[in-house]
Structures are given as C-alpha cells and as structure tokens.
C-alpha cells in the first residue's frame, strides 16, 4: 500500500508541486530579488530493475556504480524552500538538463502569464552544469546567473590571490561560521573589471575551501 500511494503521488507530482509552490509564494514572498539554486545527484537501487525505464548504469556519486541508478534534480529558493524537481535516467548528462529546467521554471514562475509576472531569478549552478552552451542559453533567455568557471584560470589570477589579504574584502556575514575543522571560516572576495561581454568576475578565497582541498590532496598522497 505504501508504494502504491507513492506511485499515485508521483503521477500527480507536477500539479502537487505547482500548488505547494504557489502557497509557498503567498505565505513567504521571495522579495524583489530571488536566487534559485540548481543541482543534480543520483541514487542507486538494489536489484536489476529491469522493468524500470529510468534505471541505468553510470558513475555513481555514492560509489555504487555496480547498481542501476536514477538521477534527481532539484531547484530551491535561497531560503531553502523547494521550487521544482524532476527525475531523469541514471545515465542522464547533467548539462543537458538545463533547457528542461528553464522550461519548468517558466511555467512555475509564470513568465508569460498576465496574472503573475515575477522578476527572473538569479540561477546558481556548479561547474558541472555550466557548459558554454548552457551559459549562452541563460544569456539568450536573459536570466541572471552565477557559476563557477570551468576553465583552469589559476595561473591567470595567481598574482591576485598572492595579495588577497591586502586587496580582497572579507564577507563579515560569514565570519562567525566555522569550518569542518572547528576554526573560523573567513571568506574574502574581490570583484575584477567587467569584460566586453558584460560579465562580472568575482575571485573568492575561503579558509574552509582551502582546508578541504588540502585534505583531499593529503588523502591522495597517503
């Protein structure tokens, strides 16, 4: 019975999500500027799952590549409340989901609706999704976005980071937070000049990120 009810809910997922999202917007208005965080993950299933059309084998983020997977996508507001979700095949390419995600957001946020016109949100995504094609798609749709650059630009900005303490600005709102190692996680940023494409680049220096990278390097050496 539990799984049967789950199937019934999933069949009506889009309508349920749209209803809950509108209620959420009414109860907790997003304000003038809204940030949407978009990411994907996958999860594995035990058994062969031969009758599951979404099950497929691919790189598993939980290191169970011996099992069939499904891919989960989720968009949340900056306050953590969910906006929309979708389930893809386990071997779904993450960058290819961007166009589908924007189409679903267009419906959820009512870009073309005369009854509700909201300012387009700023979409934040990691470098795995931020391909050149997806960046062009966001610019074509006139959607503000923030991404981590995919290309290796360490050498290009090395001099900037060497003088970080003198030229970067510390984000005081994050100074009270702590890293996984217990010390204060100071975060410093520096805005550099816009280029001819009107793209603003922000350099970021984080104590927590530095500790994480050092731990990864040490584990590899070990």
What does the pLDDT profile of the chain (222 residues) look like in tens digits?
888 999 899 999 989 998 998 888 888 877 666 788 899 999 999 888 888 899 988 888 888 888 999 999 999 888 888 888 999 998 998 888 988 988 888 888 765 544 444 457 788 888 888 888 888 888 888 888 888 876 666 677 888 888 777 888 888 665 556 666 666 778 888 888 766 667 788 888 888 888 888 888 898 999
* Contact of 82 with 104, CB cutoff 8 Å: no
- The confidence score (pLDDT) of residue 9 equals 92
pTM, entire model: 0.73
Instruction: Map out the domains of the chain with their CATH numbers.
Output: 1-151 (3.90.350.10), 152-222 (no CATH)
pLDDT of residue 155: 75
DSSP 120: P
pLDDT at 114: 42
d(CA 137, CA 127): 15
Radius of gyration of the chain (CA): 21
Give the list of residues 6+ apart from residue 129 with CB closer than 8 angstroms, or none.
38, 39, 40, 94, 95, 97, 98, 147
Report pLDDT for 16: 93
**What is the CB neighbour count within 10 angstroms for residue 26?**
8
CB 113 within 8 A of CB 44: no
pLDDT in the model for residue 173: 66
- Angstrom distance (rounded) from CA 164 to CA 205: 8
Q: CA torsion, points 172, 174, 178, 183, in degrees to nearest 10?
A: -30
How far out from the chain centre does Cα 116 lie?
25
Residue 70: how many CB atoms within 10 A of its CB? 19
Residue 143 CB neighbour total at 10 angstroms: 17
Report the pLDDT value the prediction gives residue 175, as an integer from 0 to 100: 54
CA–CA separation, 43 and 100 (whole Å): 20
Asked whether the CA dihedral 105, 147, 219, 91 is positive or negative, the reply is positive
């Amino acid at each position: 019975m539990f799984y049967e009810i789950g199937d019934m809910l999933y069949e009506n997922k889009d309508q349920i999500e749209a209803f809950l999202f509108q209620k959420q917007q009414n109860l907790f208005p997003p304000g003038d500027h809204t940030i949407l965080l978009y990411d994907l993950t996958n999860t594995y299933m035990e058994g062969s799952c031969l009758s599951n059309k979404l099950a497929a084998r691919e790189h598993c983020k939980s290191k169970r590549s011996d099992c069939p997977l499904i891919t989960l996508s989720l968009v949340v507001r900056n306050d953590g409340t969910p906006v929309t979700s979708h389930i893809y095949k386990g071997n779904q390419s993450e960058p290819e989901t961007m166009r589908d995600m924007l189409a679903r957001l267009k419906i959820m946020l009512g870009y073309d609706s005369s009854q509700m016109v909201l300012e387009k949100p700023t979409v934040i995504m990691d470098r795995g999704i931020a391909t050149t094609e997806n960046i062009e798609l966001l610019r074509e749709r006139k959607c503000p976005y923030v991404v981590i650059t995919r290309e290796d630009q360490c050498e290009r900005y090395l001099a900037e980071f060497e003088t970080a303490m003198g030229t970067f600005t510390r984000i005081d709102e994050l100074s009270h937070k702590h890293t996984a190692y217990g010390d204060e996680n100071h975060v410093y940023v520096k805005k550099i000049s816009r280029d001819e494409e009107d793209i603003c680049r922000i350099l970021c220096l984080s104590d927590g990120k530095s500790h994480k990278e050092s731990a990864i390097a040490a584990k590899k050496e070990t």
